[in-house]
Amino acid sequence: MQPFRHLILFISIVIISCNAVLAQSAEGRVRIIMIGAHPDDCDVNSGGTAAIFAKMGYAVKFLSVTNGDAGHQTMKGVALAKRRYAETQEVAKRLGIKYDVLDNHDGLLMPTLAVRLQIIKKIREWNADVVIAPRPNDYHPDHRYTGVLVQDAAYMVSVPNVAPEVPALKKNPVFLYFQDNFQRPNPFRPDIAVDITSVNDQKVFALDAHVSQVYEWLPWIGHYLNEVPKDKNDRIKWLATKWVEPITPAIKTSLARWYGDEKAAQVKFAEAFEICEYGAQPDEAEIRRLFPMLVK
């Protein structure tokens, strides 16, 4: 039986490797993984872009590096982690994506080798062409360390002898940063800007699934809990006005580059991304292939 098991294992590895090559090719559908520290970070930063990709038939996964078991004023631990996981699965339905959550404690994340290997494996398993994560400068240590962890994984995802139980990617993906407003040590640079006006309502509807966060924890910690409406329909309307990221002059310039001046002037809602130096460095043609919604 032992040789037979080895044969089965070999065939399985070959199949996985072939799938990776297909995914990471000009002919295959682009595969995107967005990585956040907590079970609502990707939704806030790129829910609109994810919705557009999903509508186009592309494979999108959100990955939360922690289980969110500290992010609430009254709940905690296993009960909170379970609640937040259920919220992510509802978001997945509303956006048409996959949503994974790693079992690392919220607020205690460190950039360890063990967590780096978790992320390497997740990127490989998804056969990612594009990886999006936070920059490693942020007010929250979990956000900062998620940025560091993904940076540390950027090269290693293509090194076969690291985490060899999951086949290495044949080429390094394009790694991008989510938009933020931090100025030091350097401000965010919007290399890519995506018009999400057509799906902004869907993004808000997805955020609405994170009841524990957008209607409870974040308003409590932000001292605006008294603003949250009681009625469900009123809540969504309120959420649509509360969670609006302004389109900065730099993002307007980026939108004009990708969509042309006329279309850019009509954009009401946008999400922007910065290209990380540690992954593949795409030219304009490759960016348009990876982000086919960028049409003039």
What is the pLDDT of the chain when averaged over all its residues?
92
Give the pTM.
0.90
Mark out the alpha helices in the chain (DSSP H runs). Answer: 2-23, 41-55, 77-95, 113-125, 141-156, 200-208, 211, 218-221, 232-242, 249-259, 261-264, 284-290
Q: What is the CA radius of gyration of the chain?
A: 19
Q: Give residue-wise pLDDT tens across range 84-109.
A: 999 999 999 999 999 999 999 999 99
What residues contact residue 116 under an 8 Å CB cut-off, 6+ apart?
Answer: 149, 152, 153, 156
Pairwise CA distance, residues 45 & 119, whole Å: 19
Cβ count near 281 (within 10 Å): 12
Quick: pLDDT tens for 224-244: 999 999 999 999 999 999 988
> Is the pLDDT reported for residue 150 higher than 80?
yes
pLDDT in tens, 170-223: 999 999 999 999 999 999 999 999 999 999 999 999 999 999 999 999 999 999
Contact partners, residue 253, CB within 8 Å, separation at least 6: 190
Q: Which amino acid, one-letter code, is at 83?
A: R
Q: What is the pLDDT of residues 10-43, one digit of tens each?
A: 434 344 444 444 444 444 689 999 999 999 999 9
Query: What per-residue confidence (pLDDT) applies to 243?
Result: 84
Judged against a pLDDT cut of 80, whether residue 8 lies above it is answered with: no
Cβ atoms of 96 and 133 within 8 Å: the answer is: no
C-alpha span between 258 and 271 (Å, rounded) = 13
Burial category of 277 from C-beta neighbours within 10 Å (exposed 0-12, middle 13-18, buried 19 and up): exposed
Helix axes 113-125, 141-156, angle to 10 degrees: 60
Residue 124 confidence (pLDDT): 98
Q: Could you tell me if 206 and 43 are in contact, meaning their C-beta atoms sit under 8 angstroms apart?
A: yes
d(CA 290, CA 182): 27
